[in-house]
Structure 1
Amino acid sequence: MKQLSPLILSTLALASSSAFATQYLSVEQAQQVIFAEANAFKASTLQLTLEQMHQVEKLAGLPARSVAWRVIAAYKDEKLLGYIVLDDVIGKFELISYAVGLQPDASVRQVEILTYRESHGLEIKNANWRKQFVGKSAGAGLSVGEGIANISGATLSCSHVTDGVRRIAAIAQVALKK
């Protein structure tokens, strides 16, 4: 039997690991879905101070993970409608890209899955699961089993996205709340 070269094997491995990647929304599409009434979006990078990172960790019960966060402010004319924070978390093996829409008071407005790369656990894309986050803030019911239901077969995706949303809600509470 003929052996496959290491180059072919690595190419096959790469292809199989990303074969399940599906992009559902671009960042621009997510902006329109989360803030349909907005007529302007302003992207920026939020730089957390060391003090803010400690506050986020205390509030979320999770490491702040990064100093820099991708934030998009949504406006209707001159009025601030809220923010969108973009993030990636590991599902089981691959990254899940998502966007969290936040009200000016730092409560969650909406969660959208942008790209899902895992072979299992896609159920987190379901609107009913994502609706559980609406209206919640960093200190209120943003944990699997405590306000957010788990989905059998998608446990890691549920847990990691929920932790990510809780972290983002804490960041909003510390650094974005008006």
Structure 2
Amino acid sequence: MLQKTTLIFSIFISILFAEDKISIDDLIKTNYIEENINIEKKSLIFTKDEAKSIQEAARSKVHSKIVRYYKISNNQEVLGHAILLKQRIRTKNAAILYIVDVNNTMLGLEIVSFKEPSEYKPNDEWKKIFIGKTSEDTLIAGKDIATISGATLSARAISDAARLALAIATNRL
């Protein structure tokens, strides 16, 4: 009886704390009206000089010389790119997907993985601040990007990574 109760309790807890798993492709598709878009997974590998150049353009540190990105197209026409970056928030990493159009204008961002406590995770309304931003914008938390009460480090890390994503899109894609 105890084993059965433990099993049922374990299943209940698993269901209660299960996160909705959504694919990268589905996240990208939510930012496009087009029905038949193609998403092609690719990687960039920066040389030391390329990483330095991106870092200078973004005014933010490049944490990895290997970057995963997705080419988004509709038949033969490129619609944009999605750049997946890993960023340390406080003590743990988050994975953030930045979606840009062919003019390197931010269409949106999606937090794919967030290992910090949920109270530090920015809400959807705050993430909308980035829509329409380009590499010409400063994107600095506390200046043109609002900070989040109690989650300033999250706002800063996501803003820093947004500058990196736009610098990568502008200079390498």
Q: Is TM-score (shorter-chain normalized) higher than 0.5?
A: yes
Distance between the aligned counterparts of 1:25 and 1:159, measured in 2? 25
Which residue number in structure 2 is paired with residue 82 of structure 1? 80
Aligned residues: 155
Structure 1 position 67 matched with structure 2 position 65 = yes
Q: Mind listing any 5+ residue stretches in structure 2 that lack a counterpart?
A: 1-16
The percent of aligned pairs where both chains have the same amino acid is: 25
State the Cα distance separating 1:34 from its structure 2 match: 2.5
State the Cα distance separating 1:46 from its structure 2 match: 1.3
What is the SS of the residue equivalent to 1:144? coil
Q: Which of 96, 102, 126 pairs up with 1:129?
A: 126
Q: Is contact 1:21-1:117 (8 Å) kept?
A: no
Q: How does 1:1-80 map to 2 (within 5 A)?
A: 22=19, 25-37=22-34, 38-80=36-78
Alpha carbon RMSD of aligned pairs, Å? 1.9
Distance verdict in 2 for CA 1:160–1:67, change over 3 Å:
same
Which residue number in structure 2 is paired with residue 142 of structure 1? 139
State the Cα distance separating 1:99 from its structure 2 match: 0.5
Distance between the aligned counterparts of 1:23 and 1:94, measured in 2? 20
Q: Mind listing any 5+ residue stretches in structure 1 that lack a counterpart?
A: 1-19
- TM-score between both structures, scaled by the size of structure 2: 0.81
State the Cα distance separating 1:167 from its structure 2 match: 0.9
Distance between the aligned counterparts of 2:169 and 2:88, measured in 1? 21
Distance verdict in 2 for CA 1:39–1:91, change over 3 Å:
same
Distance between the aligned counterparts of 1:32 and 1:86, measured in 2? 15
Q: Is contact 1:110-1:133 (8 Å) kept?
A: yes
